[in-house]
Structure 1
Amino acid sequence: MMKPSFQTLAELTARKGPRIFNASVSSVNPNPRMYKYYWWIFTEHSPVEGMAFLTDPYRLCSFDFQQQLKYCKENNLSALIYNERLHRYDHSLPFDFSKLKQEGYTFAPSFDEDPDPVTAEGFK
């Protein structure tokens, strides 16, 4: 994983021009009811760097991520993108929650209990 750093972002931008770099992004399952995705967008304006950035205070839901990503693109800002995928805690899903709990997984709320706004693609 490429750690969020101002130096790395500056070097990538110098080599490739302003763009969005997928620093550590897992693929997104097309069913928004199965997983919750949290996002981080690291730019030259981020308040901290390193692993301190990849923490809850800077985490975005999918809706906020899309808004910030749009802003970066419209303003020609380079950014490093990260995401995290969590299983939604919903017993109608085909997950073995007992096993996942034993393995130490953290769960997101079920889609219906998730208070985040819905994106145009149906994600929260």
Structure 2
Amino acid sequence: MVPPWQITKVWFTESHHSHAGNWFISGSGLHPNPRIYKYDWWIYPSNSPYASAEEIFFKSEHRLSTKAFFEITKQLNEEKISFAYVNCKYFRSGNKVFNYEKMKRDFPTIVFAIAYDEDTDEEHEGHR
């Protein structure tokens, strides 16, 4: 993983990043069942007003829903603006897949996402 503080406007202009494109820095792909996990996303575009991705990645004020992430990346791709992105995957509350008590015991600091049916984020291909 490239550390977020190294992802800057200059980073995008280096020879191996000079073409318009996107770079998945850290996270995981979408699980096919949107009821199992919730994802938070962060994007650092090459035209960002911020000096580096460190000022955006994993900051609550820059968190994007799955729908917002895909809308923004579509626009950036259409405009040929390079960007780097990350995501975090959270176990959703309220399903029968996970043993929540065991998870809380084994990982006392674990945070669960809101249950799918209670999630008010707009959908993107079933994901909220």
TM bin, normalised by shorter chain, reads 0.7 to 0.9
**CA shift at 1:37, angstroms?**
0.7
Aligned to 2:22: 20
Partner-residue secondary structure (3-state), 1:98: helix
Aligned to 1:57: 61
Q: Is the 8 A contact 1:29 1:35 kept in 2?
A: yes
**Between Structure 1 and Structure 2, how many residues are aligned?**
120
Residues 74, 68 of structure 1: CA spacing in aligned structure 2 closer, same or farther, 3 A cutoff?
same
Q: Is the 8 A contact 1:89 1:108 kept in 2?
A: yes
Residues 46, 99 of structure 1: CA spacing in aligned structure 2 closer, same or farther, 3 A cutoff?
farther
Partner-residue secondary structure (3-state), 1:109: coil
Q: Is the 8 A contact 1:86 1:107 kept in 2?
A: yes
Q: What runs of 5+ residues in structure 1 fail to find an aligned partner?
A: none
- Please list the CA deviations of residues 64-101 of structure 1 after superposition, one character each: whole Å capped at 9, or x if unmatched: 001100111110010112111000011x3311112322
Aligned to 1:80: 84
Letter in 1 for 2:99: D
1:110 has 2:112 as partner: no
Distance of 1:18 and 1:29 partners within structure 2 = 27
Q: What runs of 5+ residues in structure 2 fail to find an aligned partner?
A: none
Q: What fraction of aligned residue pairs are identical, expressed as a percent?
A: 30
What is the TM-score when the length of structure 1 is the normalising length?
Answer: 0.87
**CA shift at 1:50, angstroms?**
4.2
Letter in 2 for 1:114: D
CA RMSD across the alignment: 1.5
Distance of 2:96 and 2:76 partners within structure 1 = 35
